[in-house]
Amino acid sequence: MNRCLAGALGFLCVLLPKEMFGAGSEPVRLFVKEVPLTVLGKDVAVIAIEQADGTQGYSPEQSDGFHVEVVNQLKVPTSIHWHGLVLPNLMDGVPFVTQNPIPPGGSFRYDFALTQSGTYWMHSHYGLQEQLFNSAPMIIWTAEERAKADRQVVVMLSDFSFTPPGQILKTLKGGMQMPDMKAGGKMKTSGSEKMPGMSASETAEVVAQKWDDQKQQLARAKVQRPAAEVDVNYDALLANRRTLDDPELISVEPGEAVLIRLIAAASSTNFYVDTGGLEAEILAVDGKEVRPLRGNFFQLGTAQRLDLRVTIPTEGGAFPIVAQGEGTKLLCGVVLITKGTTAPRLSRAASISTAALDNTQEKRLRASSPLATRSADRTLPASLGGDMKTYVWTINGAAYPNRDSLDVRAGERVQIVFTNSTSMAHPMHLHGHDFEVVEIDGEKIFGPLRDTVVVPPGSKITVAFDAANLGVWALHCHLIYHLVTGMFTVLKYDGADVKFWQPAKLASELQNQLEP
Ligand SMILES: [Cu+2]
């Protein structure tokens, strides 16, 4: 059966012929290559992960398993990580942790069984390539996933800068914020009143999320708070690689249910997602089902996913689904539109900025199938530190590369306690495991299963999982500039194969990339 997934990256239909992925068949070849893109009228070169027919990424049937050969057509090394998958350690695609980088012209084969379904994605774990859009969607299909709505669309959110990523990092490490293009490209020093660790700066009217007790749903609110801090002033936010003044128009039918699979594929941007006049319900986060939670305004941390189901009104119309970056006025999005409706003109910028992500939504989310109740055998602290001035970001006071692993034994129920003493929200990602959010700021909950949890400024969040996947697993902040400047460690199982874990090599390789 072929099925067209409307709107997957806009310019293509994902064909899902089941026969193509049969067990024992040839692997699907994924080419990592440079592609042209026009942003704000300028031609730039970015990266794509494409099949031979131009299909973005790979969306297998769960029952067929995962069979891929990654072919590196870049002029530099790469390595592709399958974000959120519970897979064998040496299939995880992290250079100098689970494999060596794939050299230019080289390839690497990945084969394993799939145990999960839903919204996942893939991205380079090599250097700063994520900032150049070395990423693609991965929907793992089952009959249940297909039955969730009449129509399904994938929306990938990303952040774009005309400044090369190496230059962005150098500028950040130089104690300066990125040039603000709207301010004439002038550099500005990181404002003293906004330095992390210092007392809150002046407040302003900003957008945040609230719980509407009367309607029992998540909603948009205007509050007096400091605007969130950001590392990089981007030139644009993109949805399916398009700006909001030229958005993807996704054809829908009046009265039908549409499942929007949102993927925050940005390098360094957390989002708020606004469904406007369409009331939505969250069906899953990070590919894992939750008890449906209603609203029209949602939070989405970098690297997280959000499955939102909406119903198109019977009278039809045009329905923008818009994402605003945390701490910025920049917007991106797509438009769901019925036949005969004129597409609205949308602005790329909102009138006011947004507050830092917080725990409003996370405290309300409940896993559909929580972990079995069990006391923890091991509790590991993960204290998040760092500041904009030194631009060194740490876990438990140490900046990677180091060999300060968090150690576990197979069979244990493990808890990780994230405490954030910085004034930025950090989306923390553990590879190879689903974890459950079990405590937020002292309140015990049966929270969602996730692979990436946002730890807001000043917050303490405990996650739990069963250590049942032997290996050396990356654990890091998913803001790329925090990751490469130290907020990275590994979860190491007793008895794991550590032959690929070479922190020192990672550091020298990154240095090579930054010095042309
Ligand atoms: Cu971070």
CA of 359 to the centre of ligand 1 (A): 16
Q: What is the mean pLDDT of residues 250-267?
A: 98
Q: What is the mean pLDDT of residues 307-331?
A: 98
Task: Classify residue 44 by burial, with Cβ atoms within 10 Å: 0-12, 13-18, 19+.
Answer: middle
Closest to 382 measured CA to CA, from 364, 408, 362:
408
CA of 73 to the centre of ligand 1 (A): 30
Q: Which residues of 249-274 are buried (b: 16+ CB within 10 A; e: fewer)?
A: bbebeeeeebbbbbbbbbbbbbbbbb
CA of 384 to the centre of ligand 1 (A): 8
CA of 128 to the centre of ligand 1 (A): 15
pLDDT value of residue 227:
81
CA pair distance 187, 174, nearest whole angstrom: 11
Asked whether residue 25 carries a pLDDT value surpassing 50, the answer given is yes
pLDDT value of residue 120:
98
| pLDDT digits 0-9 by tens, 136-180 | 999 999 999 999 999 999 999 999 999 999 999 999 998 655 444
Cβ atoms within 10 Å, residue 109: 11
Q: What is the mean pLDDT of residues 125-137?
A: 96
CA of 428 to the centre of ligand 1 (A): 7
CA of 463 to the centre of ligand 1 (A): 17
CA of 483 to the centre of ligand 1 (A): 7
CA pair distance 286, 119, nearest whole angstrom: 7
pLDDT value of residue 505:
84
SS3 percent helix, strand, coil of the chain, rounded to 5, is: 10, 40, 50
The confidence band for 262, taking pLDDT boundaries of 50, 70 and 90, is: very high
Closest to 408 measured CA to CA, from 494, 503, 316:
494
- Could you give phi then psi for residue 428, rounded to 5 degrees? -95, 125
Asked whether residue 44 carries a pLDDT value surpassing 50, the answer given is yes
Q: What is the mean pLDDT of residues 214-230?
A: 94
CA of 16 to the centre of ligand 1 (A): 36
pLDDT value of residue 188:
36
Closest to 380 measured CA to CA, from 419, 424, 421, 410:
419
For residue 428 the two structure tokens come to 């923390």
Asked whether residue 4 carries a pLDDT value surpassing 80, the answer given is no
CA of 427 to the centre of ligand 1 (A): 6
Q: What is the mean pLDDT of residues 455-473?
A: 97
CA of 267 to the centre of ligand 1 (A): 11
pLDDT value of residue 513:
64
Higher confidence at residue 320 or residue 19?
Answer: 320
- Could you give phi then psi for residue 90, rounded to 5 degrees? -80, 5
| pLDDT digits 0-9 by tens, 382-415 | 999 999 999 999 999 999 999 999 999 999 999 9
pLDDT value of residue 506:
76
CA pair distance 120, 118, nearest whole angstrom: 6
Query: 271 forms bridges with which residues in the sheet?
Result: 300, 325
CA of 385 to the centre of ligand 1 (A): 9
CA of 301 to the centre of ligand 1 (A): 11
CA of 335 to the centre of ligand 1 (A): 31
Decide if 260 contacts 298 (C-beta within 8 A): no
What does pLDDT average to over the chain? 90
pLDDT value of residue 193:
31
3-state DSSP call for residue 255?
A: coil
pLDDT value of residue 15:
39
- Ligand 1 (ion): residues with CB under 5 Å are 426, 477, 479, 482
